[in-house]
Amino acid sequence: MLAEVFFYGIVIYLIYKIVFDFFVPVSHASKQMREQFRNMNEHAQQHANDYQQKSQPQNNPQPKSKNVVGDYIDFEEVKK
């Protein structure tokens, strides 16, 4: 009887140690890694959006100045 209680006590203790010394820290670390990957992905996406906005030309039409220099000369082809 005493041996059975001692045996079950040791088994319960070992299960407790395995769960709280291995599985809980592993799950905590995997949660932190997912969070870091999500942050890195958001950061990279933000950089891509910033780069794309800077590389696109702005749609601010600027009036083109027409500098008229002299008269207009019509081009005519010269055939030989």
Q: What is the pLDDT of residues 5-18, one digit of tens each?
A: 999 999 999 999 98
What is the per-residue pLDDT across 57-67, written as a single tens digit (0 to 9) for each? 666 555 555 66
Average predicted confidence (pLDDT) for the chain: 84
Collect all residues with Cβ–Cβ distance below 8 Å to 50 and sequence separation of at least 6: none
* The pLDDT of residue 30: 94
What are the structure tokens assigned to 73, written together?
């000369």
Reported as a single tens digit per residue, the pLDDT across 14-33 is 999 988 898 889 989 999 99
State the pTM of this model: 0.49
Rounded CA separation 3/13 (Å): 15
